[in-house]
Amino acid sequence: MYFRGMKKLLLFLVLLPSLEVFSQSKILIQDGISFKPLSEVVVRVGDQEYFSDQNGLASIPDEGNFKALFFKEGYASVEQEIRSSNTEIYLFPLSVSLSGVTVNAFETDRPLLQQSASISLIGEQDFNRFNETSIVSSFNTKPGIRIEERAPASYRVSIRGSSLRAPFGVRNVKVYWNEVPITAPDGTTALNLLDLSNIRTAEVIKGPSGSIYGAGNGGVINLKNAANPSVRNATSEFASGSFGLSRGRLAISQPIGKGGIEAALVTQESDGYREHSAMKRRVFQLGGFFPINEKQELRTQILVSDLDYQIPGALNADQLAEDPTQARPGSVNQNSSISQQSILVTFGHLYQISEKIENNTTLYLNTNDFENPFILDYKKELGFGYGGRSRFTFDWDLAGRPFRLIAGGEFQQSLTDAQNFGNRDGVADTVRFTDKLKATQGFLFQQAEWELTDQFLITLGLSQNFSSFEIDRQIDASGGATGVQTRRFDPLLIPRLAVNYSLNEFSALRASVSSGFSPPTIDEVRTNEGSLNLDLEAERGTNYELGYRLGKNQLNVDLTAFYFRLNETITTFTNEQGVVLFRNAGSTDQMGIEAAVDYTFIQNAAGFVRNLKMGSAFTGHYFTFKDYRQRENDFSGNDLTGVAPNTLVNTLDARFSGSTYLNITHQFTDEIPLNDANTVYQDSYNLIGIRFGFIQQAGKRTDLEIYSGVDNLLNESYSLGNDLNPFGGRFYQPAPTRNFYFGMKVNLRY
């Protein structure tokens, strides 16, 4: 009996390896475009079904050669004969149709085809087709959007010409990061504190959207990178390139129960194309996602950013012709630069109160240490801010049709100790003036959405906005007045009316009328030479818009026509000392056309070319001044300063067998008027960028990507962010010539 049992045990041990082979035939299933493993893919063999795990692996009993059907929602199904116990299968997403893309614009999750606003969605596929050290190129592929980089990490954002009043930095555009407003209550946004890896997706709403998001005539940028630790991952990245560029990133994703944490550390530095244009940035992000129960979840974020970059300054035409890499005279000796350290802590709570009522609340605290030696002075600021946003969503029926009501509010306040000194060879000298600054903004908002019929959706939004700032001058060495100066802007009602009509399941028309306002920022009122321009008025505008969207099979079309009338337009000019000042310039007429078209020509699971997609984005912005007079000058009818009337972006994306890919981008930018008189223009230019790489599985749990690319292939001479109306003809901020980059990513699923 004993020996009989031993024989059975020995037989089992002998057969165990073959049983393991039989039970562990592995099929790796990946996305055919991103090459990322796909989980929860249904694998049907005969009448049996199997599923891929979080690593994209499906275990199928080995019965020799067999046919299997692979299915996952949103992907084209594939039927293939399996002849090897270790096989790789690629599933290709059904062409990304506008009818299948869901966005959260105006606080409501709906397919883009049902949204009654002009919205551009920028995702990881857009980011990953360029050099990943900057956000510029990916945003600039979308119509109506232009991000300029006057020097490494010195961003300026323009949505439909909204950067007219932004000599530097981001103004007149509201920016959110994981549902937290990172635009300060004074209207400025330190977008350069974020690394590209801190953004997974971006939704850009073009035009006034004050009915939900408050101040800002340009639009809204919703950046998202909330922790979503579904799998255990450790990622390492490295990139290098021309002009001393280097970037490294370490990240980890760790599920904990039904939630988890994600952490990442990024360092990036470069010497820059021009003299005195070096940059160094270090960003640490820690995010957590913690479901409490089926009705509640908590989200937390900590972002620590340390940024240093030099400011080469603008050149005149003679200096540009002599040597475009030189810095403006004085920039080096005065160490013209910015050093900024910031900490942002956020807390979010989502509560599904009932099947029809939901609340989402986010709170934040931030600190900011800012130091800016400049040619003319030396500025130091130490700031603290706090605020939050809360909304309730109610889903009911009205007259038997779905009705949604959204109501909530947002509040922000910042306190800043600001000091301006003389600058002696890059060192803070005698104090010139010192202020305590306080900025406050807030608004209440309501929005109703009613599906009048299966095809017709009507949206009505309204907000009441208030804002103020306080400048308490403690010291004025020039003998000027000290004490508190306050500016309050009367509460404004900002309405929005929009409709969307579905022509069929794959196309829709939309129309909207919306208002917006944008009060001046503290930096526009409190200038570097110490004056206070308290008479500067808030901009106020109304936007009329018509649009059409089509998303059918491999074709996507998004067309928009708009007219925006802006009153009390704020423009910039520079005095003889080089100080940037601001003034109201009457009104502007802004008419525009924006179009985006893309088509997927090839989408195969086999063959040499697996995926081939082409797209074009056209922007026609025909903006002019109206009733704009300055002393003896009448600029009425002139083109709006700093806005290219026509831009065109063409893209080609190809994926090949062997997990290789190729991205090609062409961008044409029309000539740009650089002063209000329209006597100086930047010439038109063409940019071409290419990125080539491959992604391979280097082991059962390891993915490897290696890529390289070139920007400005044609070696064009151009400025990416000119100075407008400067003194002394210093218009030009030369952008890098032809430059190359190389990178590698390693992802380990542990």
Domains annotated on the chain, with CATH:
24-91 (2.60.40.1120), 222-749 (2.40.170.20)
Residue 240 reports pLDDT greater than 60? yes
Q: What is the mean pLDDT of the chain?
A: 88
Q: What is the pLDDT of residue 622?
A: 95
Average pLDDT over residues 579-605: 85
Lowest mean pLDDT among 298-307, 314-323, 413-422, 528-537: 528-537
Share of the chain above pLDDT 70, in %: 91
Residue 533 reports pLDDT greater than 90? no
Pseudo-torsion of CA 530, 327, 163, 306, nearest 10°? -80
Amino acid at 34: S
CA distance 384 to 364: 11
Q: What is the pLDDT of residue 291?
A: 93
Q: What is the pLDDT of residue 6?
A: 45
SS3 of residue 17 by DSSP:
helix
Assign 99 a pLDDT band (cuts: 50, 70, 90): low
The pLDDT tens digits for 333-350 are 999 999 999 999 999 999
CA distance 91 to 75: 6
Q: What is the pLDDT of residue 539?
A: 82
Residue 5 reports pLDDT greater than 60? no
Which pair of structure tokens corresponds to residue 170?
């981001």
The pLDDT tens digits for 40-61 are 888 888 878 888 887 788 888 7
72 or 542, higher pLDDT: 542
For residues 217 and 518, the answer to whether their CB atoms sit within 8 Å is yes
Strand 739-749, strand 672-673: pairing: unpaired
Q: Where are the alpha helices (DSSP H) in 26-88?
A: none
Assign 615 a pLDDT band (cuts: 50, 70, 90): very high
DSSP assignment of 247-293 equals EEEEEEEEEETTEEEEEEEEEEEE--SSTT--EEEEEEEEEEEEE-S
Q: What is the pLDDT of residue 540?
A: 84
Plot region of 605 (φ>0 → left; ψ -120 to 50 → alpha; else → beta): alpha
Average pLDDT over residues 287-300: 94
Assign 490 a pLDDT band (cuts: 50, 70, 90): confident
Q: What is the pLDDT of residue 4?
A: 47
Assign 123 a pLDDT band (cuts: 50, 70, 90): confident
Q: What is the pLDDT of residue 624?
A: 92
Angstrom distances, CA of residue 89 to CA of 26, 657, 672, 689: 11, 11, 49, 31
CA 459 to chain CA centroid, nearest Å: 26
Angstrom distances, CA of residue 736 to CA of 50, 274, 711, 712, 739: 52, 8, 9, 8, 7
Average pLDDT over residues 240-256: 95
SS3 of residue 124 by DSSP:
helix
pTM here?
0.88
Average pLDDT over residues 362-383: 95
The pLDDT tens digits for 655-705 are 888 789 999 999 999 999 999 899 999 999 999 999 999 988 777 778 899
Taking only Cα atoms into account, the Rg of the chain, rounded to an integer number of angstroms, comes to: 28
Of 276, 279, 257, nearest to 268 by C-alpha is: 279
The pLDDT tens digits for 390-430 are 999 999 999 999 999 999 999 999 999 999 999 999 999 99
Q: What is the pLDDT of residue 9?
A: 44
Assign 435 a pLDDT band (cuts: 50, 70, 90): very high
CA distance 165 to 581: 10
Q: What is the pLDDT of residue 1?
A: 45
Of 193, 168, 386, nearest to 279 by C-alpha is: 193
Q: DSSP strand E in 101-143: where?
A: 102-103, 110-111, 119-122
CA distance 125 to 433: 48
CA 730 to chain CA centroid, nearest Å: 30
